[in-house]
Amino acid sequence: MQPIELETLLWRVIKVIEDAGERLIQEWEREGGPRGQGDKAEIDDEIEVFLRRELLSLFAADFWGEETGQSLTGDHYCWVVDPHDGTRDFLLGFPGSSISVALLRDRQPVLGVVYAPISPDRGKDCIAWTEGLPHLLRNRQAHPVDLSAGQLTEEGIVWLSAAAARKPYANIRLCAPARFIAMPSVAYRLARAAAGDGIGAVSLTELSGHDLAGAHALLTGAKGVLLNQSGKVLNYRNMDLVCVRCFGGAPEVCSELAKRPWGEALNEPSQQTRRLASRPRFPRIEVMQRAHACLAGLLIGDNFGAQVEFMDARKSPS
């Protein structure tokens, strides 16, 4: 087994994945919109070819990719790559897809990076961790998180798939007393839970190793867990199918969520979307960020104003 300094490797991997993210942004902003349809976009293949070359040049190991296949020799280490998780929603004009990379050692994630270059609320959002690092990294800054004692409370957030927004009533019941937020990429919503933006994340579809390994590493770094449909710790003995459902986040929360009847969400009829029927739109990232800033300014101003809005002028602190 070749020697490896994981923390040094992590910084180099982050740089490679950030470069790949720029390609995804360029595809989003492409005149005429991104190339592809359904669950397949041309940029997916292009990013994986780039990542395969760059990652193997950083550290020679086996490779398991979603788009370009596997190269397995029995090495103790294996790169696991999902070049673009959330392709379908990306092609429909919904932000929140991600790039996910993990390094497994003897089938256990010891390094992970999940990068959403076009997140719906945080702009570029890169979350990373490797074995030996005492905290997560978020956008290259130390980001300590400890999920070990997390509880399911009214203040908590559970991250669900984009489809959950069309089936709100069952999902509200299943996440109670917490709230839920819908997000396209399973890797990114698990990463958001690992980063402490929620108490847990759920997926109700069959998933392969490339879908989960990167976020699994992040959850490990945050003292969280990733459980399968039986409430057992997820493993990578069968990379083609690692789970039918998964629950990631605080250990006690995931154990509780795994017991709930999630079939109710699958069986609930979809509600009509509130989005106007039209061709998908792909606004420039800079324009989206300005719009978010304007809305945030209105929200902040309204909250400040609400404190004195109905107060008698004589009682106003001003």
Residue-wise pLDDT tens digits, 162-190: 999 999 999 999 999 999 999 999 999 99
**What mean pLDDT is predicted for residues 224-243?**
96
Asked whether residue 289 carries a pLDDT value surpassing 70, the answer given is: no
Going by the annotation, the residues of the binding site are 66, 82, 85, 211
CB within 8 Å of 261: residues ≥ 6 apart: 174
- Other CB atoms within 10 Å distance of the CB of residue 258: 19
Going by the annotation, the residues of the binding site for Mg(2+) are 66, 82, 85, 211
pLDDT of residue 1: 47
pLDDT of residue 297: 72
pLDDT 10s digits, 60-92: 999 999 999 999 999 999 999 999 999 999 999
- C-alpha to C-alpha distance for 176 and 194, rounded to whole angstroms: 20
- Other CB atoms within 10 Å distance of the CB of residue 159: 27
β pairing state of 62-65 and 77-85: parallel
Q: Any idea which of 19-23, 188-192, 228-232, 274-278 has the lowest mean pLDDT? A: 274-278
β pairing state of 108-119 and 98-105: antiparallel
What's the number of CA atoms in the CB half-sphere (13 Å) around residue 199?
22
**Is residue 161 a contact partner of residue 203, using CB atoms and an 8 Å limit?**
yes
At 270, the pLDDT band (50, 70, 90 cuts) reads confident
pLDDT 10s digits, 95-154: 999 999 999 999 999 999 999 999 999 999 999 999 999 999 999 999 999 999 999 999
Q: Any idea which of 6-20, 151-165, 275-289 has the lowest mean pLDDT? A: 275-289
CA distances from 194 to 189, 191, 198, 218 (A): 9, 5, 8, 6
Confidence (pTM): 0.89
pLDDT of residue 301: 73
| DSSP states along 140-158 | TEEE----TT----TT-EE
Residue type, 45: D
CA distances from 150 to 147, 197, 244, 250, 252 (A): 5, 12, 24, 5, 7
Query: What whole-number percentage of the chain has pLDDT above 90?
Result: 82
Domains of the chain from N-terminus onward: 6-266 (3.30.540.10), 276-313 (no CATH)
